[in-house]
Structure 1
């Protein structure tokens, strides 16, 4: 009798993140977590997660050193699903105030900035995300944050106002965001769709530390982004 193969979630090894909690999230979802720094595995895998604990500059250095930046860009260009958590979300943008002079993945336009508003940093604890109308994946709820940086809500994506002269940003059929306020408002999550699939799920918060809300969010992403839906 043949064994049923457990579906896998490839977790990108950047060398700057503690992966125990994201491994545990994958296991709670019934997935086999596979940690790798092999670009070929990142390109081929059904689902990929870019975790995020650490600083923007060192993380980008590790990605470029191992050819993982090109693998991630190739994956997004092909419309294959990938998620990013905390720093893993920030790396999708052009740059960050945390590491001036370091270029990000440039898959989304804009610069990550230090949170403003006068509250203590980092933001540590629970806060609420509020999706904009039209979001198909993101729901309102309370989630766990650990961040000093974020993307401002003034950032635009697919409405034609973004400056795309510096990079060939991939195009999506639709992009929806969720916002959170900590002193000031910032983008706390992004869902980007192509061909009726959520290619990107980017979370400034930590789904793996957000209890059933985080687990259910990733379960929805895995289901909606599955290749099986296209048959």
Structure 2
């Protein structure tokens, strides 16, 4: 079973339904103990970084997330959930993140660039990953975000996407992955990524 963390920030039901469509059992959970008991964990999210960290802290999820990741179980952050994996964000001042990955979350520069970055955009595969099995080079996915991750370690970038600048649209190391786009809104290939994550789960 895949535990989808409910901390009051996200389109949980659509993520759950997308996993179910590819044959993966997924449950929305609010109890930190359920996160630790699950064989795999998903951290979704939309909204403000600082609010998300505050909600995670209040719910007792921060410690559960760290224990889940340290135990080696597959862990996936989606959209804001990807950003929370990093050390800090500059959104509305500097806020500390979960610190799983080194790096920070920055805002797109604006100017002639439309912010938020919204709609379909291509991803360039930077290195192989089991998350991308069956995903062709140049595939397009659906994005909605004003901030992007800037890993301190370039090796964390699994895919890159161009929007005014090149940013890491998928990151990963060992058992932990983060996706900036919304796989649950990205048609067949988005579902393929969720299915690939599901294949990592030990029943």
Structure 2 residue aligned with 1:156:
153
Determine if the alignment matches structure 1 residue 30 to structure 2 residue 23: yes
Structure 2 residue aligned with 1:65:
58
Structure 1 residue aligned with 2:191:
215
Structure 1 window deviating more from structure 2 (136-145 vs 80-89): it is: 136-145
Structure 1 residue aligned with 2:119:
125
TM-superposed deviation, 1:43: 1.1
- The alignment partner of 1:227 has SS state of coil
TM-superposed deviation, 1:75: 1.0
Matched-pair contact (CA < 8 Å) for 2:107–2:148: yes
Mapped partners of 1:128, 1:27: distance in 2: 25
Matched-pair contact (CA < 8 Å) for 1:112–1:149: yes
Mapped partners of 1:24, 1:116: distance in 2: 34
| C-alpha distance 23-134 of structure 1, shift in aligned 2 (>3 A) | closer
Alignment of 1:1-231 (within 5 A): 8-116=1-109, 118-138=112-132, 139=135, 140=137, 141-152=139-150, 155-156=152-153, 175-193=156-174, 199-223=175-199, 225-227=200-202
TM-superposed deviation, 1:189: 0.3
- The alignment partner of 1:110 has SS state of strand
Normalised to the residue count of structure 2, the TM-score between the two structures is: 0.90
Matched-pair contact (CA < 8 Å) for 2:103–2:152: yes
Q: CA RMSD in A?
A: 1.8
Structure 1 window deviating more from structure 2 (83-92 vs 111-120): it is: 111-120
CA deviations 1:122-157 (Å, max 9, x no partner) are 1110001111134443343110000000013x6316
Bigger Rg, which one = 1
Matched-pair contact (CA < 8 Å) for 1:201–1:221: no
Matched-pair contact (CA < 8 Å) for 2:2–2:26: yes
List gaps (5 residues or longer) in structure 2.
none
TM-superposed deviation, 1:99: 3.9
Mapped partners of 2:179, 2:131: distance in 1: 12
Structure 1 stretches of 4+ moved >4 Å: none
List gaps (5 residues or longer) in structure 1.
1-7, 159-174, 194-198
Mapped partners of 1:78, 1:33: distance in 2: 19
- Comparing both chains, which one has the higher relative contact order based on Cα–Cα distances under 8 Å and sequence gaps of 6 or more? 2
Matched-pair contact (CA < 8 Å) for 1:134–1:176: no
Matched-pair contact (CA < 8 Å) for 2:19–2:195: no
